Structure 1
């Protein structure tokens, strides 16, 4: 059972918050092109599979979000054993790498590793660690990697995956025996005390986002089912770690309050981008309607009487080592 965050009724410590690819040189122009729509840009490669934008504003938000993970995980990039400082890691796959910041940080921490980050958008920088490379790819297609991986990392891909069982199966098949998978995921916000209510614009905006994701065939998955899906695929030693990202500085606990500072900026910066393509393409909204809803939801984000948070989970698991292989060692 997750802990309940106590709201801070005397909040004086923290102030209120206010409002090109480097992998393959032969990437075609169609892959490098962007879809421009309602003032934002989106991936053109396999157009429409991912509803969040890929412009500079969104890339800055993704890097900010990386910092929130850093705070959440106490300065670690992940909880699976390959993240230990003394771990000797071979091949690593980062699914949905975004700006590539996780892959580059992992490559810096583990210079012995070969790190591959894949994404639909060429949003990664040109200069990267020598052991890191990026590829524009679609995980819905057949995985054709020449060698298996020691570690597969997947972060913030909820509502971007059409078939989680297939996604996990492919991950299992592309891991070495003894290799690890790590899922770091989120779902739509809620409150433990009912202060995030249906009449709030923040509630409505996330409800519509969930509806649009489901209509696109990439519904938000229940985070509590991920461990079971990993076990069903054949993984063992499944470990789960649950966290909460508050909407602002409403919590009493200092760590949650700090997470609230950063997550407030994260969500406020991203709200319009989260909603625009999802609601206009999926639900037939007009751009002006989306902008109005996003503005009202941002007001709710500032309201400390609304004790909202985004549930987060980290799940790690290991691919078994065949008994005969273990006996030979």
Structure 2
């Protein structure tokens, strides 16, 4: 069974795609974004996958790839087009090659035009293809920089993408209107730049008159992506420093979590914030020794009562309200905050010490 997730970076409107083989657990990630590496790594871990490859559809001008950083953190390898001119990749892909993950594979199709090194990745059964900026939903990537050429783009799309079955789903590298997926049949019929009876000359005329502004991040993104995303000085500042006060885990939902066994051994180093109601705090589940009670509904107004010289671990009955509490505290300027997953139900279930509660 194929594991498939479509992820989104709102800053650059970039789609990142995770594909995995559920039997072997092997996976690939297409077009990762540097600032989203922590999110992507959390999802890969939660799904129990092993990332083999990060794949680029082209050298991007609007964001920096997360390929290098994922390689440092997860041991994945980097693959992109040989024609892209980037250095530091583990594999330079040519037209017709295949990238395998478990029993599944992606066929590499060269589709230049937006840039010289554009690739489209086609799933083995031709049920889906990942087109980068070559074909967008009712559009295409621009052709006015990075050796772009409208005639080449037109020919690439017609020969290498529109030759796929009409039912093949196309997943683009970007979308700026909230659209997520299209199909070969749709784009052949409705794409105003490349579909229908539009000829090569029509496409060229259309692309020459787009009059688009210069990409805002091109001067930063292109040089970085020609290094496969490796920072000049090895810094990871865009992600922020990893918290060092506890062995925390970052979740796909965007939360830091701390395990109960660490908390029990380090109660004196943190402030335990219980966000349940008072009757729950004194009820059958009891509460963690030394915990401070501030019900969730009062937390935003009472945040000033919390200490700022200690990390805060939020706890509730099952971990849901406390997860929301961490978000409230982060908005209030608290940086060292974590959730206790499973809450008091898990804490009691594991036989950890409590004050009060039923025996």
Q: Structure 2 length normalisation: TM-score?
A: 0.28
| Structure exhibiting the larger radius of gyration computed from Cα positions | 2
Structure with higher helix content: 1
Q: Structure 1 length normalisation: TM-score?
A: 0.30
